[in-house]
Structure 1
Amino acid sequence: MSTQTLEQLLADYLRDVTVSASSVREADAASPAQSVLIVLDDDPTGTQSVADLPVLTAWEEPDLRWALSTGAPAVYVMTNSRSLSARDAEKINRDVVRAALDAAKELDRRVTFVSRSDSTLRGHFPLEPNVLAEEVEAATHEEIDGILIVPAFGDAGRITVGGVHYAGSAADGFVPVGETEFAKDATFGYRNSRLVDWVEEKTDGEILAADVIAIPLSVLRADRDETVRLLRSASSRQPIVVDIVTEDDLRLLSLALIEAESAGSRYIYRVGPPFVRARIGQEVHAPLTEAEIEAARGGREPSPHGLVVVGSHVGLTTRQLNTLRDARSLIELEIDVAKVLGPDRDEHLGALVDEAVAGLSTDTVVVRTSRLLVTGADADDSLSISRQVSAAVVDVVQGIVAQTAPRFVIAKGGITSSDVASKGLGIRRAFVVGPMLPGIVSMWSGQDGRAEGVPYIVFAGNVGDESSLATVVDTLSL
């Protein structure tokens, strides 16, 4: 792999320009185009960069009306579309936009749509932003000028420099993301790390790299007028890619977007987790304290031990699980994928539920899928297997919480997090409380469902270091 240090990558660029979150809030408040961001999150991990915002796992018009009525500057809708076929993802995106536009019209609120996806470039692109654009244009008769593509997630080591998207860390260096395990994804794999080339690849050449607008770090940090000009030059849903390394870079981009939108340009955002935080001018929330976690329980008496549900198969998750196993006593139960796909499914899952309920009275319980990744003959078949495994995870969680309330529930992996929240715990409406670790790993407070008052932790499979899962479990077990 072609690893480079951060210093090497940034050697030819200006230093970071400090921008306050308050300056973004003030500019947005003064803009005639100010709107609420409706964030369609293709798995729940997108909330890990924000705090104090409403989250929906259902998207009927009353749900959107409730969320918009909170007065929050952004609303998250968990579509879980990364786990779905392209056809199903398209339908859900259309349904969310229509419900959101109906709710916004009733409340006289202006909305802008955000397609939040993976910071390592996996997901239904260009399908999802194009569907959002089609629905907005049909409803408003106003053209979407640009599709803004900003996958950067500095807190998790994903940065874009010189048009190339990287994954890594300051300690270990950065590698073009196309050279990582993420690019080999069975459903959403790709070859290119240079974003303009990635757009051409993902659109099957319908959009050429030369037709993608690129905003380099040298322009973003030094020339606001030129940044705005480049944003304003987009037309007919033209893709725009932007170099981003830091939170300040995202805030600089936000100020330029506010200016461009105030002048009449309209965009759909296709972004990684921290973009929304910067765009609404929210401060970076420190990791939650013990007092904040207790307050989220709403006075509910906690059970003695917590439940950790692991569905992710990326290498980092396996290493994190190994560290947790070494750090503390656990009761570890395995959902055997082969049995889930066979005739003994129900008997196998029922036994796991009984063991987990008994175990929670004495120790932290880990329920994990077998670590051998089972894939299908093609992308759709692989998704079908993933859905069957997710359904098994849901059945186990439902069985557990029907009999006892864990001290906390951690769900490891994007698809796992979505299914555990909406189906396993029955959460329909929630609030993001804040991050468990700096800039990553989100805690929700459910407003309904079987686990109301139980801290729910959304833990992406591909973030943190090897000790992160153990750290979060330790914090929640205090």
Structure 2
Amino acid sequence: MTREDDLLTAYPPDTEVPAAAVAEAFDASGQVLVVLDDGPTGTQSVADLPVLTRWEVDDFAWAFGTPVTAGTTGGRPAAAVYVLTNTRSLDPEEAAQRNREVVTNALTAARAAHRSVTFTSRSDSTLRGHFPLEPDIIAATVQEASGQSTDGVVIVPAFPDAGRITVGGTHWARGPEGTLVPVAQTEFARDATFGYGTSVLADWVEEKSAGRYRADAVLGLDLQLLRTGSPDESTVAIADGLDAATERTPVVVDAVTENDLRRLALGLTEAERRGHTFVHRVGPPFVRARIGQEVATPLTAEAIPIPADASPGGLVVVGSHVGQTTRQLEALRRRRPRVRVVELDVERLLADTGDPVAETADRVTAALAGGDVVVHTSRTLVTADDPAASLAIARRVSAALVAVVRQVVATRRPRFVVAKGGITSSDVAAHGLGIVRAIVRGPMLPGIVSLWEPVDGPARGIPYVVFAGNVGDDEALADVVGTLSATADTSTPTDQEQPRD
């Protein structure tokens, strides 16, 4: 068994890097990051940034011109824009086409707005998603549109807030009591569509690219390099290391703390100043560090506005089937026994028996009049014999949940909506609630679980919480719902004030 403390003894200690220094360097570069988020959960590490679920040129024009209301960049236009592509739920051809459309339209809008764009492909910190397809398509589309080649694909899956770190080129998941588990030994590596067999990132690149990129050709930036001396010294060391990148060289990067990510950000800015160009393939916290945002404090009930016409109850939509989500759902039911629970029967849905969507929507709508409601799919995961068929089943189930939400919201506006699971969160946002443009207001838990403020559509003003399936401890969902429910009556003890088993 590997202990984190033992593993890190071989490397220099972590030292503070001010976010303001990173923000100053990034602002001076004149860039805006366009983040192609393959699921909506990438926003969980940032605050006060625009997010789009549609990517027409006029949507980018809105996002490029939208000033943030808080954070390090003051009232200037946002330093980053998120685009919810939801490509993790698509097959490779559809994912490629969607990436092309986003990049093409972003470049068109950026030229009109006189903004310089760098593209970031945000994906899963447990290595699931379309790789190397997505960064390849982004780089190729940029080159076709502007003639600009890409020197390196910078791969940073680390998500320390959620327990995923990279040390010595190996990607780890934190376990109990300071232990580490190689990520290939977790349930995420057995994903029916995006599974893999190694935790060594260079080998993972070779595996996922079917040998097109050999492991020995992958550049590595380890903690020894990132933690070289002062931030000024490490900036130069990192940029020197990146000088070797050419023709989309994969670059895998260690990261254990926010300071490691900030040092990388400074090094990337210096490498770009030298004339290098990169596409990023990253986990959620990279963008926060790259633009120099401070780590946002979790939102409190007092900071979450509720629409005046909202129902007494909020709606929690659970689609994820990972064990973490099931445990969190059980904890929510234990701690909040008055929450009404409605199940969407997946076997009936797939067998085309009756109309389980309409029946479920009717039950949820009626229950919202009395308080909070959880609607979830039946907990037995249904898969097929091949990845494509499994993905098709997942998309059909997600579409049914979306239809439930759409029918509910057409009749009754919930006080809030929480969506649990990556594909679920994306589909509920774009199709269930009709969100096209929103502002990410901040996290509900430290570094994870983001709250959006929709600025258009039927969900305008309804707090929308994006909650990945694979983050948070067993009590996390109950904690989030407790905070949101406390907005209903601040004289009633919140969920956090009630004893836990």
How would you bin the TM-score normalised by the shorter chain?
over 0.9
What aligned pairs does 1:228-307 form with structure 2 within 5 A after superposition? 228-294=239-305, 297=306, 300-307=308-315
Matched, 1:77 2:83: yes
Equivalent pair of 2:5/2:178 in contact (CA under 8 Å): no
1:403 maps to amino acid: T
Q: CA deviation at 1:363?
A: 2.4
What residue is the counterpart of 1:386 in the other structure?
A: 394
- How many Å separate the matches in 2 of 1:376 and 1:59? 32
Q: CA deviation at 1:342?
A: 2.0
- How many Å separate the matches in 1 of 2:101 and 2:225? 38
1:45-84 alpha-carbon deviations (Å, 9 max, x no partner)? 0000000000000011111111111111000000000000
Q: CA deviation at 1:336?
A: 1.1
1:52 maps to amino acid: D
Matched, 1:63 2:74: no
**Candidates 311, 327, 333, aligned match of 2:342:** 333
**Candidates 126, 143, 147, aligned match of 2:149:** 143
What residue is the counterpart of 1:314 in the other structure?
A: 322
Q: CA deviation at 1:27?
A: 1.4
Equivalent pair of 1:48/1:441 in contact (CA under 8 Å): yes
What residue is the counterpart of 2:489 in the other structure?
A: none
What residue is the counterpart of 2:26 in the other structure?
A: 28
Equivalent pair of 2:237/2:267 in contact (CA under 8 Å): no
What aligned pairs does 1:32-111 form with structure 2 within 5 A after superposition? 34-70=30-66, 71-111=77-117
- How many Å separate the matches in 2 of 1:81 and 1:30? 32
- How many Å separate the matches in 2 of 1:81 and 1:53? 21
Task: Tell me how many residue pairs correspond in the alignment.
Answer: 470
Q: Report runs of 4+ in structure 1 exceeding 4 Å deviation.
A: none
- How many Å separate the matches in 2 of 1:174 and 1:292? 36
1:75-97 alpha-carbon deviations (Å, 9 max, x no partner)? 00000000000000000000000
2:367 maps to amino acid: G
| Superposition TM-score, scaled by structure 2 size | 0.92
Q: CA deviation at 1:172?
A: 5.0
2:238 maps to amino acid: T
1:164-186 alpha-carbon deviations (Å, 9 max, x no partner)? 00012573521010010000000
Q: What SS is found at the alignment partner of 1:111?
A: strand
Equivalent pair of 2:398/2:424 in contact (CA under 8 Å): yes
Q: What SS is found at the alignment partner of 1:75?
A: strand
Q: What SS is found at the alignment partner of 1:402?
A: helix
Q: What SS is found at the alignment partner of 1:283?
A: coil
What residue is the counterpart of 1:181 in the other structure?
A: 187
1:5-59 alpha-carbon deviations (Å, 9 max, x no partner)? 220121111110210100001112333xx31000000000000000000000001
Q: What SS is found at the alignment partner of 1:244?
A: coil
What residue is the counterpart of 2:8 in the other structure?
A: 10
Matched, 1:396 2:404: yes
1:236 maps to amino acid: E
| Superposition TM-score, scaled by structure 1 size | 0.97
What residue is the counterpart of 1:466 in the other structure?
A: 474
2:471 maps to amino acid: V
Matched, 1:443 2:451: yes
What residue is the counterpart of 1:132 in the other structure?
A: 138
Q: CA deviation at 1:302?
A: 3.5
1:391-416 alpha-carbon deviations (Å, 9 max, x no partner)? 10011001111110111100000000
What residue is the counterpart of 1:19 in the other structure?
A: 17
Equivalent pair of 1:43/1:82 in contact (CA under 8 Å): yes
Identity of aligned residues (%): 56
**Candidates 396, 405, 417, aligned match of 1:409:** 417
Q: CA RMSD in A?
A: 1.1
Q: Which consecutive residues of structure 1, in runs of 5 or more, have no partner in the other structure?
A: none
Q: What SS is found at the alignment partner of 1:102?
A: helix
What residue is the counterpart of 1:431 in the other structure?
A: 439
Q: CA deviation at 1:343?
A: 2.2
Equivalent pair of 1:5/1:170 in contact (CA under 8 Å): no
- How many Å separate the matches in 2 of 1:15 and 1:432? 33
Q: CA deviation at 1:155?
A: 0.2
**Candidates 355, 358, 363, aligned match of 1:350:** 358
